[in-house]
Structure 1
Amino acid sequence: MSDTAPVHVMANFTVHDAETYRIYEKGFFPILKRHRGTFITLDDDSTTFEGSAPPEGRVVLFKFPNAEAATAWYNDPDYQALSEHRRAGTELKFLTMLHPMPGR
């Protein structure tokens, strides 16, 4: 994997306390931008064409220019402090960094 290859981060979670989660949402984008992250989309009602549907809830997709930037975002003390609101207001199913396929 190239250190310069972009990576995507996908999260799936169910919001059970919207007010607490909104605190997280409001602080999320400035920290994402600080680490050169780009928001792509979110979906509260995704469609599965084949196979088992993913866990219910919101799916969020964003990207970083490389794995180093994504890791720095996640480990940022400001993000970790902010993420306590996500942890308190949601049930996280997964938060995954997707690496590009080798040779593509």
Structure 2
Amino acid sequence: MSVYFIAQIKINDMVEYNRYLEKCDEVFSKYNGEYLAVDSNPEILEGEWDYSRSIIIKFPNERELENWYKSSEYQQILKHRLKAAICDTIIVHGK
């Protein structure tokens, strides 16, 4: 069953966030994930959106997502994203 990593990100420090961006695709490519959307200007249908960017990443299963997220390579760069931004992330299970 596919799973989706969904992130709402409010960037506060673009220099630090760019340190994350410099390495994230290289690490991500090793874990069978697929970017479905990266959007800095989504259409708001309801409520409020106080973020800089929304991201949806699809993984073939939860194990692949966990392998990526918990990998030492990703953990080394994740600190840059978390330092540079407020991040609300969830895992959504597909059908």
Q: What TM-score, normalized by structure 1, do the two folds share?
A: 0.83
Say whether residues 1:78 and 2:73 are aligned partners.
yes
Asked whether the equivalents of residues 10 and 51 of structure 2 are also in contact (C-alpha less than 8 Å), the reply is: yes
Aligned length: 95
- Residue 36 of structure 2 corresponds to residue 27 of structure 1: no
List structure 1 runs of 4+ shifted beyond 4 angstroms: none
Give the TM-score, by structure 2 length: 0.90
Q: Gapped runs of 5+ residues in structure 1?
A: none
Can you give the 5+ residue segments of structure 2 that lack an aligned partner in the other structure? none
Q: Which has the larger radius of gyration?
A: 1
**Aligned-residue CA RMSD (Å):** 1.3
- Counting aligned pairs with the same residue, the percent is 20
Task: Judge conservation of contact 2:7–2:56 (CA < 8 Å) in 1.
Answer: yes
Match of 2:91 among 85, 97, 100: 97
Q: Is the 8 A contact 2:11 2:51 kept in 1?
A: no
Quick check: which one's helix share is greater?
2
